[in-house]
Amino acid sequence: MEKVLKSERRGVTPFLNTAIYPCISDMESLLKETGIKHSAFYAAKFFENDGIVLKSKEIPLKKLSEISNEFKKKNGITDAEALSADLRYRYITKLCGKNVIKNKTYRKSTSDKIDDFLTHPILGIPIFLGILAFIFHIAFGENFLGIKGLPTIGQLLQDLAYYVLSYFKNTVQAFMINHAVSEWVKRLVEEGIIGGVGAVLSFIPQIMCLFLFLSVSSLSLTSFANV
């Protein structure tokens, strides 16, 4: 064990036996000749057009550019950084496949079970439409589940909005009567301003209720997915 720990460790480039290795190998040899340490690293980073390496004053940028540009032009390489990243990930995947031992037994988590149920190829769409229909029923329906005398949350909020608007309208009417406001001004305020704006405002509670339940359902599914 002590011999292994004391022995020199030599790194292996992930680009070995890949299409770009000849170019990196040539640049590495050039860097070694100029006495640059970690030549393999600098060669790979230069091939990727790394901003820091390209600004370095210690390496022969002109000669490296000639080697790199000629190789890229010859092989039609336009995005060296993406190509290098892809080769690195392939190397890591191959390395993990040889050395990482995975448990054969796999138990589905709660989130996986919920995902399988909600994204079922046959039942998924009816379930989704059912949830949306229930949310719209709560927001815009009159009686909850068709039970008379049991209003939905949306209906309760709309009734509350009507009550507030009616109270405001009656208060304004009383004010205009007490101050002998002309008839055309009364009609403008009552029918034009209060009536027109009130018709729009009366739907705001139901719309807020709709978005509230959509948000709650989204958060519920997210929390289940994190279980």
Q: Summarize pLDDT for 195-214 with one digit per residue, the tens.
A: 888 888 888 888 888 888 88
- Average confidence (pLDDT) over 10-21: 80
Q: How confident is the model at residue 9 (pLDDT cuts 50, 70, 90)?
A: low
Domain containing residue 169: 110-225
**pTM for this prediction:** 0.43
Which tokens go with 113? Answer: 């079970």
**What CATH number is given to the structural domain containing 46?**
1.10.287
Q: How far apart are CA 51 and CA 53, in angstroms?
A: 6
- Angle between the 204-225 and 153-178 helix axes, to the nearest 10 degrees? 150
- As given in the structure block, the two tokens for residue 111 are 């989130």
CB neighbour list of residue 124: distance below 8 Å, 6 or more residues apart: 118
> Which of the four pLDDT bands, split at 50, 70 and 90, describes residue 105?
low
**pLDDT over 80 (residue 108):** no
Domain end point (choices 67, 99, 131): 99
pLDDT of residue 227 exceeding 70: no
pLDDT single digits (tens) 75-94:
888 888 898 889 999 988 88
Rounded CA separation 34/49 (Å): 20
Predicted confidence band at 106 (pLDDT cuts at 50, 70, 90)? low
Residue 52, H or E segment: helix 51-54
Last residue of a domain, one of 72, 99, 126: 99
Specify the higher pLDDT residue, 33 or 7.
33
Do 93 and 152 share a structural domain? no
* Run of H or E including 28: helix 21-33
Mean pLDDT over all residues of the chain?
82
Contact 221, 113 (CB under 8 A): no
Q: Which of 76, 99, 122 is the last residue of a domain?
A: 99
Sign of the Cα torsion 197, 199, 202, 204 reads negative
Rounded Cα gap, residues 144 and 133, in angstroms: 13
Number of folded domains that form the chain: 2
Do 116 and 174 share a domain, yes or no?
yes
* Together in a domain, 92 and 135: no
**Is residue 121 located within the same domain as residue 221?**
yes
Q: Bigger pLDDT: 165 or 10? A: 165
Q: Is the pLDDT of residue 132 over 80?
A: yes
